[in-house]
Amino acid sequence: MDAHLIPGPYLQAVAERCFPGGTTIEAHFEIPRPGFSVTVLFGPSGSGKTTTLRLLAGLERVDRGSIRVGGAVWSNAERHIHLPPQARDLGFLPQAYHLFPHLSVAANLSYGLTSQGPQARQARVDELLALLDLTGLGERHPGQLSGGQQQRVALGRALARKPRLLLLDEPLSALDRPSQLRLRKELRDLLRSLDIPTILVTHDRAEALQLGDRLVVMDQGRVCQSGDIQQVFDRPTDPAVATILGVETVVLGRVEAVTEGMATLAVGTARIFAADPGSLGQHAFVCIRGEDVAVERGCGPGPGSTVRNRLPARITALHPEGSLVRIALDAGFPLESLVTRQACADLHLTEGDRVCAILKAAAVHLIPHD
């Protein structure tokens, strides 16, 4: 057995990169198994996502720790192992596609296949053109293609050598919004057909949810939480993570009682009911997504309603967002609701109106504070 081969997760990164001035990027996560999966590195700009990709690609050196993929050690600071990018058997698609404008689509796709004979190169190019829905465009140049077609050519070049790992740095960011929305499902289906692990960087919540299987949340150079993507989005373990994931309301509440799996908390001047996550102390962070908050006129109990939280509130601001309207509320604490523009119009909502904010106890996520 090769001395560099070690059993364990398919990818394991416990690596750090230290920059002058004291900034350290900690790439600490793993991919359990080979085969198709999309791991999303998610976080605000400057959180270390792209540096993590560059560490995996071999474009940055690991100062502490190691990276191994498929049992092979790619980086190990203590043992002074640093495989160059061309020895790592990976495909890397940066934010800027870096297509060669003077080369045809076919020549761009075959650029990394110089070690193969002419027939093998042509066969692989034909295979990629068919896979990426580019058949008939092989002789065109990048400037003659749409943004979506350029994106597929760049992806094809990253796939040309049949890598064991694919790295995508915001692959849709160069496209206009309608193209991004259209290509998300197409990209997910394509990645599934490749049957290789993919690591994708994005700061777009909807893009992460549509493309990803696992989520790695990064902030200020470190991994804050990782796991199944829906579980992380639904159950952040830290208020900072909840904010990064787009939870509009994150406020501290005081736990008044816990009875039969239901917690009662004082939040500002209001009282909130929520499912008890266990391990609650005297205080907990109350996390509420805007889409889980409905708004109605009148705050009496609705007929047959089982909703525990019906909060008298005042509208402090209305912010249109396309087909939606974000409503800022004072419900005894700052609260946001996200409703359709039609619902807002039907209710004739205006700033200063007295309304009822309605949310189910199950929609309130509690993070123990003590």
Please give the C-alpha separations between residue 54 and each of 16, 57, 59, 194, in angstroms, as whole numbers. Answer: 12, 5, 5, 22
Paired tokens of 71: 């049992």
Q: Can you give the pLDDT at residue 340?
A: 95
| Cα 244 to Cα 86: distance, rounded to the nearest angstrom | 34
Bigger pLDDT: 263 vs 187: 263
Closest by CA to 68, choosing from 60, 76, 57, is 76
Q: pLDDT confidence of 6, banded at 50, 70, 90? A: low
Residue 72 C-alpha from the chain's centroid: 27
| Cα 279 to Cα 268: distance, rounded to the nearest angstrom | 22
Closest by CA to 255, choosing from 364, 335, 126, is 364
Percent of the chain with pLDDT strictly greater than 70? 96
Q: Is the predicted pLDDT of residue 194 greater than 90, yes or no? A: no
All structural domains of the chain with their residue ranges: 11-239, 247-368
Q: Is the predicted pLDDT of residue 1 greater than 60, yes or no? A: no
Q: pLDDT confidence of 7, banded at 50, 70, 90? A: low
Q: Can you give the pLDDT at residue 2?
A: 46
Average pLDDT over residues 245-271: 95
Average pLDDT over residues 211-224: 96
Domain 247-368 = CATH 2.40.50.100? yes
Bridge partners of 5?
A: 72
Phi/psi for 252 (5° steps) reads -85, 130
Q: Scanning the structure block, which residue is given the tokens 């900072």? A: 240
- Same fold across 11-239 and 247-368: no
Please give the C-alpha separations between residue 296 and each of 39, 204, 312, in angstroms, as whole numbers. Answer: 39, 30, 10
pLDDT tens readout for residues 238-255: 999 999 999 999 999 999
SS3 category, 361: helix
* Number of C-beta neighbours around residue 349 at 10 A: 19
Q: What is the CATH class of 11-239?
A: alpha beta
pLDDT tens readout for residues 91-127: 999 888 889 999 999 999 998 888 888 899 899 999 9
pTM for the model: 0.88
**CB-facing half-sphere around the CA of 198: CA atoms within 13 A:** 30
Q: Can you give the pLDDT at residue 307?
A: 81
Amino acid at the residue 345: A
| Cα 297 to Cα 213: distance, rounded to the nearest angstrom | 40
Closest by CA to 8, choosing from 27, 40, 30, is 30
Q: Scanning the structure block, which residue is given the tokens 């990209």? A: 187
**Mind giving me the DSSP string for 215-281?**
EEEEETTEEEEEEEHHHHHHS-SSHHHHHHTT-SEEEEEEEEEEETTEEEEEETTEEEEEE--S---
Q: At what angle do helices 118-131 and 147-159 cross, to 10 degrees?
A: 140
Residues comprising the chain, all counted? 370
